[in-house]
Amino acid sequence: MTLEKRLQDRILRALRGHGGWWVKFHVGPRYSTAGVPDIIGSYGGVFVGLEVKRPGGKLTKLQAAMHRKMVAEGDAIVETVHSPEEALAVLERLEANND
């Protein structure tokens, strides 16, 4: 299992423990559209997309373009995260903005 896959699994466990709805978006020629975030979900009525990268990892140009398009379409947050703590921080910001 790759480091990024293990990181995705840890992040999914943290998110599911915090609430909301979360799923790993499987990438492959038969399954998906390139650039869609690794983890997608819904939290507090907001669509959330999280691109998981190893520490120091960066988005490709295609990923960045897809993420901008997703945010432009409506009530969505799409971010790059490198740890479960960063993923939970995204949810905490959502909660703070809804208070």
Domain boundaries defined on the chain: 3-98
- 46 pairs with which residues across the strands? 43
25 closest CA partner among 9, 15, 37: 37
Single pTM value for the model:
0.89
Confidence of residue 3 (pLDDT cuts 50, 70, 90): confident
pLDDT at 91: 97
Alpha helices (H) along the chain? 3-18, 61-72, 84-98
Q: How far is CA 89 from CA 33, 39, 70, in A?
A: 27, 15, 20
The third-level CATH classification (topology) of the domain covering 3-98 is Trna Endonuclease; Chain: A, domain 1 (3.40.1350)
Q: How many CB atoms lie within 10 A of CB 78?
A: 21
pLDDT for residue 95 is more than 80: yes
Q: Tell me the pLDDT tens digit for each residue of 54-84.
A: 888 889 999 999 999 999 988 889 999 999 9
Residues of the chain with pLDDT > 70: what percent?
92
